Amino acid sequence: MDLGIKGKTALVLASSRGLGQAMAHSLAREGVQVAVTGRNAEGLAQTVKMIESVGGKALALNWDLADLNAIDGHVQTIENQLGPVDILINNTGGPPPTPASGQDPQLWQKSFQEMVLSLMKITDRVLPGMRERRWGRIITSTTSGAIVPIRNLAISNTLRAALLGWSKTLAAEVAADGVTVNVIMPGRVATDRLRQLDEARAKRENITYDAVVSASLKTIPA
């Protein structure tokens, strides 16, 4: 597939494993230079190896999304080594499983900073250049829980829904400048994060992990 993006530069957040890693790899196969980020050095090295295996160019950054003060420096490094960011993949890890009631306000604040505010600030950092060049792609990965809330994932459901409203508002603001803003809402994908959630559910409901997986498989249309 040729998406017509060869030679562009992408920043893929939280790409040391899971969907972020897969998206970084896919972009590299399209001829895109990719800056990959995360806190897991081993995972980042694996992502870089995957990108280089298809002839791509990668830049790995040890990046904690909770640190808002680090954003300018990281983006400047990308611009210096790969060029300005044309494609931004807003992706984050998930918060711990929680019910909606009785949560510590500090957990809500911490999760908001990591999962929402960081993405807004990173977007604000790269967006002016996209608008000036009259080309940019901003894709934010959320979850199906933003539309149909998933039990015991209250923080994730709430904050991902906030990203929907922000993205739709932003899309209308920048469309005339050649910048598109879209949201993807993946359901259950076999990642490390999904396994952690299934293990937590098994423990909470006092059933086996295999029983959780089996019940999930039954929900897939034949």
Q: Contact at 8 Å (CB) between 95 and 193?
A: no
Quick one: pLDDT at residue 34?
A: 99
Quick one: pLDDT at residue 132?
A: 99
In this prediction, the residues of the chain whose per-residue pLDDT falls under 70 are 187-198, 200-201, 209, 212-213, 215-222
Looking at the chain, which residues constitute the CATH 3.40.50.720 domain(s)?
Answer: 9-187
Quick one: pLDDT at residue 186?
A: 77
Class of domain 9-187: alpha beta
Alpha helices in 54-205 (DSSP H): 71-81, 105-112, 118-133, 154-174, 192-205
Quick one: pLDDT at residue 129?
A: 99
Per the listing, tokens 């993807």 go with 184
Q: Contact at 8 Å (CB) between 16 and 39?
A: yes
Quick one: pLDDT at residue 184?
A: 96
